Amino acid sequence: MEDSSLPDTQDGTVVRANWRKFPPAQWLLHYQRQWLAHDAVAGVTLAAYGIPVSLAYASLAGVPPQYGIYCYLAGGLAYALFGSSRQLAIGPTSAISMLVGVTIAGMAQGDPGRWASIAALTAVLVAAMCVLAWLFRLSSLVNFISETILLGFKAGAALTIALTQLPKLFGVKGGGEFFFERIVILAQQVPQTDLAVFGFGLAAIAVLLLGEKFLPGRPVALLVAVASIMLLSLTPLGGLGFKVVGALPQGLPELHWPGLRPRDVDGVIPLAFACLLLSYVESVSAARALAQTHGEEVDARQELLGLGAANLAAGLFHGYPVAGGLSQSSVNDKAGARTPLALVFASATIALCLMFLTGLLANLPNVVLAAIVLVAVKGLVDIPELRHVWRVSRFEFIVCMVAFAAVLLLGILKGVIVAVLVSMLMIIRRAAHPHVAFLGRIPGTRIFSDLERNPDNEVVPQVLIFRAESSLLYFNVEHVRSLVWQKIHGSTLPPRLVVCDLSVSPMVDLAGARMLATLYKELQAAGISMRLVAAHAGVRDMLRAEELEERVGPIGRHISVADVVDAFRTSGTAAPELDSTTAPADA
C-alpha cells in the first residue's frame, strides 16, 4: 500500500523511504479494520491493570502516587511512536521504581519537591543516554550483560522490594536503610502487627494469586482495588485505621521541565545509567519474547529510540524512568493487542480516569498496593532457572549468587554496578583463559580431537598437537604458551615435534603471532620442531607478515594435522611432501 500523499519526485522518494523506517509506518499502512476492536479492548484492559500497579510502584519510587499513573500515560504514548514492538507495554517497573526510590532518598535531603525533580531529571537523562546509544549503535553492548548475572540480580531485587512492602502488610512502621537492618527492625515490630490490616492484605494476596492462575491477562488488580475501596467506604472496616492513598489531583499533568540540572545532583548520572541498563535489558527481553510467539522481530537499535522517547515523555510530565515489563506486556498481548495503537487507547483511558475518576481512589488502602507489589515481584525469582544453572554450571551459579548478594548487601544501585562489573570480569576471564585442547587421532581416521574428552584417541608418539579454541590475542597468548610448556614438561617422553592447529582461531593479532614466533625459538633451542597448520586467510596473512612461514615452513590452507603427522612418522621430518600439481592454490 503506497502513501499517495507523498510527491513522486526524487525528494518524495527519499521522504517515502525515511517514512517507511518510522515504526508507525510499518504497521499503520497495513492496519486492518478488524484489529481496531482488539487494540481498543487491549488498551482499556492495560489501563485497568496499569492504574493500581503504577500507584503501587510510585510508592516504591517515593513519589506521589499519581506520578506512577503519569508514567503510563506519557511513556506508553511516546513509545507507540518510536518503538518497534507491537505488544510491548511501557510503564514503571518494580526494580526501577525501587532503584529510584532508595537512591534518591540520599539525594533529596528530605524535600519532596526535590525528590520529584530528581526522579524526573533521571528519566530525562535516561532518554539522552538512549539517544546517544542509538547514534553510536551501542544496542549490542547490552548482550555483554550475562543472563546469569541478571538472574541473581532480579532475585536480590525481588527480596529487597518485598522487604520494603512487608511493614505495610503487617501494619507496622518498618524502617532501616539496608536489607538485613530492615529484617531486624521488622522482626522487632512483628508483635505490634495490626491484625485487621494483615488479614486484609493476605486476602488481597490470595485473590491476586488466584487471579494469576485462573484469569491470566485479566485486570484482577483493578478488581481487588475496587473491592477494597468499596469495603473501606461502605463497611465498618473504614474505621479500623487503614492507611489509604488519599485524594489524587484531578486532571492531566502539565508539561514541566525538571527544575534541576545534572550538576546540581551528585550521583544522578550513575543512577540514570543503571536505570538505562535495567530498562533496556528488561524491555528488549520482554519484546523479543512476545515477538517470538507471533513470528515477528524486534529492532534492538530502534528500541533505544522507543525507550528514549518514553522516558523523555515521562520526565517532562512529572514521571520517573520507565521500561517495558514482561508482566504488563503479557497483559497487553493476552488482551488481544495487535499494534502499538493499544498503547494509545490505554493512554486515552488513563487520561479520562485522571480527569473524572481520581476521587474514587481516595479510600484505596496502602496494604492493597503492597499486596500488588508482593505478587508482582514474585515473578522476579526464577527458582527453576536457578536450579538449572546449579545443575549445568557451578561456576555460573556462584557468579549468579555474587550478583544476588551484592544487591542485598550493597543496595540495588550498587548491585547493578557490581552485576555489570562481574559480567565484564566473566568475559575477560573466559577470553584470557581459553581452553587449549591437546589432540589425538580418532582411531581409523585422519581426524584429530581433544584427548581429554576422548581418552580412546590414539596418542602420536613424540608428537604434541595442541589447539587453542579461541583467537590468539594479546591478553591470552601467555596462557596458551604456558599450557603448552606445562604439557611438554609433564610428558614422560619429550616430544620431537609440536603441531599448532589454528583451525578454530579466527583471528591472531600481532602479540599472538609474536608468541608463536617466540614459542618456535624456545622449542628450537630445546631440539623440538614446530609446525603451524589449518590457519585461516587473515591469520595466514598475519603470520606471513611476521615472517613465520620462512621459519616454521609452509602454512597454506591445504596442509592438515594429519599431513604433518604422517610426514613425521614416515620420514622423521615435519615437512610433508606436497604435490604442487594437485594442491589447491593458497588464498
d(Cα 587, Cα 584) in Å, to the nearest integer?
Answer: 9
Q: Among 146, 188, 144, which Cα is nearest to 166's?
A: 188
Lookup result for grid cell 510491548 = 88
**Residue 201 DSSP SS3:** helix
More confident residue, 348 or 557: 348
**CA angle at 463 for the pair 580 and 429, rounded to the nearest 5°:** 105
Whether the per-residue pLDDT at 317 is higher than 50: the answer is yes
The structure's pTM equals 0.78
d(Cα 569, Cα 403) in Å, to the nearest integer?
Answer: 53
The number of residues making up the chain comes to: 587
Write out the DSSP string of 312-351: HHHHHTT----EE-HHHHHHHHHTT--STHHHHHHHHHHH
Place 576 in a pLDDT band, splitting at 50, 70 and 90: low
Flag the least confident range among 195-209, 399-413, 442-456, 471-485: 399-413
Flag the least confident range among 268-277, 538-547, 563-572: 563-572
Main-chain phi, psi angles of 371, to 5 degrees: -65, -40
Flag the least confident range among 296-300, 533-537, 538-542, 578-582: 578-582
High-pLDDT (> 90) share of the chain, %: 55
Q: Could you report the per-residue pLDDT of 147-169, keeping only the tens digit for each?
A: 788 888 889 888 988 998 999 99
Whether the per-residue pLDDT at 415 is higher than 50: the answer is yes
Q: Could you report the per-residue pLDDT of 264-302, keeping only the tens digit for each?
A: 889 999 999 999 988 998 898 888 888 888 888 889 899
Average pLDDT, integer, range 355-365: 89
The CATH T-level fold of domain 436-571 is Transcription Regulator spoIIAA (3.30.750)
Q: Could you report the per-residue pLDDT of 196-227, keeping only the tens digit for each?
A: 999 999 999 999 999 988 888 778 888 899 99
Contact present, 337 and 42 (Cβ < 8 Å): yes
Whether the per-residue pLDDT at 13 is higher than 90: the answer is no
Average pLDDT, integer, range 19-46: 84
Radius of gyration of the chain (CA): 31
d(Cα 398, Cα 320) in Å, to the nearest integer?
Answer: 33
Whether the per-residue pLDDT at 505 is higher than 60: the answer is yes
d(Cα 439, Cα 441) in Å, to the nearest integer?
Answer: 7
Q: Could you report the per-residue pLDDT of 442-454, keeping only the tens digit for each?
A: 999 999 999 999 9
Phi-psi label, residue 508: left if phi above 0, alpha if psi -120 to 50, beta otherwise:
beta
Place 122 in a pLDDT band, splitting at 50, 70 and 90: very high
Place 11 in a pLDDT band, splitting at 50, 70 and 90: low
pLDDT of residue 1: 39
Contact present, 306 and 84 (Cβ < 8 Å): yes
d(Cα 330, Cα 160) in Å, to the nearest integer?
Answer: 24
Phi-psi label, residue 173: left if phi above 0, alpha if psi -120 to 50, beta otherwise:
alpha
List every span in the chain annotated with CATH 3.30.750.24. Answer: 436-571
**β strands within 52-140, DSSP E:** 90-91
More confident residue, 71 or 417: 71
pLDDT of residue 240: 83
Q: Could you report the per-residue pLDDT of 82-96, keeping only the tens digit for each?
A: 999 999 999 999 889
Helix (H), strand (E) at residue 557: none
Place 19 in a pLDDT band, splitting at 50, 70 and 90: low
Whether the per-residue pLDDT at 574 is higher than 70: the answer is no
Burial of residue 375 (number of CB atoms within 10 Å: 0-12, 13-18, 19+): buried
**Residue 501 DSSP SS3:** strand
Place 71 in a pLDDT band, splitting at 50, 70 and 90: very high
Side chain identity, residue 554: P
Average pLDDT, integer, range 511-533: 95
Whether the per-residue pLDDT at 263 is higher than 90: the answer is no
pLDDT of residue 12: 53
Flag the least confident range among 2-16, 208-222, 260-274, 348-362: 2-16
**Residue 450 DSSP SS3:** strand
The chain-wide mean pLDDT, for the chain, equals: 88
pLDDT of residue 573: 61
Q: What is the largest CA-CA distance in the chain?
A: 101
347: cell is: 493512554
**Residue 461 DSSP SS3:** coil
Q: Among 528, 531, 436, 536, which Cα is nearest to 488's?
A: 528
d(Cα 221, Cα 277) in Å, to the nearest integer?
Answer: 28
Flag the least confident range among 484-493, 556-565, 578-587: 578-587
pLDDT of residue 543: 94
